[in-house]
Structure 1
Amino acid sequence: MISKEGPHRKESGKRGRKPGRKSGDKIDMKAKLERSRQSARECRARKKLRYQYLEELVADREKAVFALRKELEKFQVWAKEIDEGRIPDDIQMILEDVGALKKEK
């Protein structure tokens, strides 16, 4: 027959207090706390290094973005001058250098 006394408990569960623990466990607990503290220190150090790396990465990317914007503005000025019928001095020099290379070949 089915018993209706309530839920059955397992005697070998992992929860709860374990019998037979005494003062030797205090030393284990201190060692465990020290390992935990050491692990936390190492975690904070790794986190700090990761943030430094990411900050350097962002700074490098920002520099690249500024350089590309400056180059884009230069090309826009050149395009505007070409549209107005003028050849910018920089482009003239580039064309002369390319022409000099072709003459050498």
Structure 2
Amino acid sequence: MDDSKMVGGKVKKPGKRGRKPAKIDLKAKLERSRQSARECRARKKLRYQYLEELVSSKERAICALREELEMYKQWCSAMDQGKIPSEIKALLTGDDHRTSQSTSKTPKNTKNQAGSHGNSKSA
């Protein structure tokens, strides 16, 4: 006889209910998993690149600060011996009005000013 059933006025055949066959679902699921893994690896790579750039910029900043600290140590040891470094003399004489306006940038300006004054005196 016929295996179809009558449900709510409609004829339904056995084995056609629910999801698609498992093989199609499995293939689609594997492909989605592969795509997700590719995207995850790409995000991870970008994250590591960002972190490496951040670390290198921090290392450069640390080097610059160490150089500045060394310069200040040399100035202090020179002043302990009774000598006034030429950079500080320049700050106290001609460039006094410039340093009073930008006291927060004094360390960086002193390097540039000292280099330019040194060159103008020798020329």
TM-score (norm 1): 0.72
Shift of 1:69: 0.3
Q: Distance in 2 between matches of 1:100 and 1:41?
A: 56
Question: Deviation digits for residues 23-82 of structure 1, max 9, x if unmatched?
Answer: 811001000000000000000000000000000000000000000000000000000000
Shift of 1:100: 7.7
Counterpart of 2:8? Answer: none
Partner of 1:72: 69
Match of 1:86 in 2: 83
Q: CA separation in 2, counterparts of 1:53 and 1:100? A: 38
Match of 2:33 among 36, 45, 48: 36
What is residue 98 of structure 1 aligned with on the other side? 96
Runs (4+) of structure 1 moved beyond 2 Å? 99-102
Instruction: Write the distance in 2 (CA, Å) between the matches of 1:33 and 1:100.
Output: 68
Determine whether 1:46 maps to 2:39: no
Confirm or deny: 8 A CA contact 2:91 2:99 kept in the other structure. Answer: no
- Give the root-mean-square deviation of aligned CA atoms: 2.4
Structure (1/2) with the larger strand percentage: 2
